[in-house]
Structures are given as C-alpha cells and as structure tokens.
Amino acid sequence: MTKEQLRKAYKAERLKIDEGAYEQASVAIIEQLKQRDWSTYSYVHVYLPIQKMREIDTWPFIDWLQEQHPNVHVVISRSNPVDFTMKHYRFVNRTFLVENSWGILEPVDGEEVHASLLDVVVVPLLVADKHGNRVGYGKGFYDRFLEDCRPDCLKLGLSLFEPVEQIENLHAQDIPLDELITPKRTYSFK
C-alpha cells in the first residue's frame, strides 16, 4: 500500500480502538521502553502525544525517565507550521506548554537543544513496515528533524500496530527507524 492509503486506513483503525484496549496497549509499549538501559544516554527527545488522535501516551515514560534517570535530559519540540521545521527544548517540570492548532502541547520557550546533541528520538507514527519505514501525518516534520540528528542517534518508533509488509512509495528524504516498539514486541531494523 502507499503512504496515503496506509495513513487513511491506520488513522481510522486507531480511532476504532476502544479506550481500554488503547490504554492497555500504551502501557505495554511504555513498559518495554522502561526495560532499556537509559543511563547511557544524555539527551532523549520524546514527542508529546496528540490525545485526540490516540497517539501512544508518552507522559508516563517522561515522568519515569525524569525520576529514574535524572541525569538524562528530556527534550521536546515546538513545530513551525510555515516551513514544517521543529525547534527542540529541554523539558523540565516548570516548562510552560501551550496547545498548538494540531492539539500538540509545545514549549513556549526554554533552553534550546540542537538536534545533533540527541542520543535517542522517540518518534510518533501511524504505522511502519518491516524495514523500519514509517508513515506519519504527511507533513515531513520528523524527516526534516531526523536529518539533522547524528548518524548514531537511535530512532525509536512507537506503534499500536504490528508492522505492515512494505510501504510502496518511499522518497529519498524518508528516514527509517532503527527500532519499533508495538504492544507485542520490539523490532530492530539495524
């Protein structure tokens, strides 16, 4: 299937999942995230979920990471809807957040962090394939962002769904994931 077909199908599928199943899947994914050794990282970028779109709820992971690994800097983004770029900021408990037009909480300001400092990026997505290619919302924010990250930065996707066989219409600027976590297991594409 093409990205457009997958985007439409998996947006609809995500919204069909009942609240209990969604919460259970989210918890299963976050528990897998917690099993990693986070002590070796300095800067971890985590997306803030669009609740109405049933993205994996990353707030419990952020809270856990800040509590269990206080030396790890959690980084979040603010999107620019004009040029589809993102700026990244250190997230601390006093960071003031506002909701943008897409329903994403974003920092108003703070300590800016360049993408080249990031060790891990937790990536939102609708679905991925068995090669680590992903389908997002189609604006290219994360592809532009990931291009600025170091080659050794771990790109870690979170998905409610198991990967599909293959995404048909990939572009040269698409940046694949290194790993994908679903409620059932973690897939490695390295």
Give, to the nearest 10 degrees, the angle between helix 59-68 and helix 19-34: 30
pLDDT tens-place string over residues 3-17: 999 999 999 999 999
CA distance 6 to 26: 21
Domain parsing of the chain, residue ranges: 3-54+68-188
CA distance 132 to 129: 6
- Helices (runs of H) and strands (runs of E) counted in the chain: 4, 11
In the structure, what pLDDT confidence band is assigned to residue 76 with cuts at 50, 70 and 90?
very high
Q: Is the pTM value of this prediction over 0.85?
A: yes
Note the CATH number of domain 3-54+68-188: 3.40.50.10420
In the structure, what pLDDT confidence band is assigned to residue 73 with cuts at 50, 70 and 90?
very high
Say if residues 103 and 52 touch (Cβ distance below 8 Å): yes
pLDDT tens-place string over residues 96-147: 889 888 888 889 888 999 999 999 999 999 999 999 999 988 778 898 999 9
